[in-house]
Amino acid sequence: MIGNGTSWAALTQPLDTTPNCDGVDQLCVTRGLGYIPPIYNVIVDQHFTERGRFPRLLRALAAANGGTGLGVSEYTALYVDLQAKTAEVVGLPERGNVSIIGRDGALQNREQVGPPFLGENYTVSVLAVGDVYTLPDVKHPHGVASHPIKSDYYAPFSAYYSDMPIFTDAFGHGVLVDNIATYFADGTPQASGARVDAIGFVANESGTASGFRFRFTADNKSQVAWNFDAGYSMFNARLKITTISAQFTGIGP
């Protein structure tokens, strides 16, 4: 499990390897409670979308050589039936969601341990209340997430929204659900391709900034669904993390 750490420090600082996770911001991965058996190779994170924790969970998967991350948001639970090897997202329909991150390995995901930590070709799904999930197995190492109503499915980037902004607070509240999943479903592809970009950065008083870009793209396995009561579901988006730098004006005294 994740014992401590922020998303920013997970990408920019070495791991905290103290026995009791004594660091302030550094990511610390420690022994979990065992609710989901080790055979599934899963790490669980919480307060997930509210605190922009998908970068933290990615780094934790790499640290533990995990295959799948389950990010549970506030007002939400993932009800797991170990006998049936299935799970369901439960909670407040308008606010509840669970995110699933799939990682195939350090080589397959071209990870740079760093710092900074970088990687690509991860899978990201965002499940709304009522969506279901089959636990990982040999054939599906990250499990299978699905929406129960087939007529709600459609292809990503439906061009409902005419612009495709770059979201500037990748570590912030609700970005993964409210912005990334929404524009992944209904945004218009740019000339250079269908994608959703979110960035997170720090800038000093002189306006020099550095940080990360998180790029979400679709392949032939990507799908989305819209449920009027629960909102968007996003399945099997591809994620790549790269660094960015910038120079801003007007920040200084």
Every domain of the chain and the residues it spans: 2-155+217-240
CA angle 186/49/106 to nearest 5° reads 90
Q: pLDDT band at 211, cuts 50/70/90? A: very high
Residues contacting 164, CB < 8 A, separation 6+: 183, 187, 188, 189, 190, 195, 196
Return the H-helix or E-strand segment holding 63.
helix 54-64
Q: How confident is the model at residue 251, as a pLDDT?
A: 80
pLDDT in tens, 132-182: 999 999 999 999 999 999 999 999 999 999 888 899 999 999 999 999 999
Cα separation, 243 vs 210, in Å, equals: 7
Enter the pTM of the model: 0.95
Q: Which residues of 192-223 are buried (b: 16+ CB within 10 A; e: fewer)?
A: eebbbbbbbbeeeeeeebebbbbbbbbeeebb
Q: pLDDT band at 118, cuts 50/70/90? A: very high
Q: State the chain's mean pLDDT as an integer.
A: 95
Select from 246, 239, 245 the least CA-distant residue to 118: 239
Average pLDDT over residues 207-230: 96
Three-state DSSP class for 88?
strand
Q: How confident is the model at residue 94, as a pLDDT?
A: 85
Supply 149's token pair. 């109503």
- Looking at 2-85, which runs of residues are DSSP E strands? 2-4, 28-29, 42-46, 68-72, 76-81
Residue pair 89/129 in contact (Cβ under 8 Å)? The answer is yes
Average pLDDT over residues 25-47: 94
pLDDT in tens, 5-18: 999 999 999 999 99
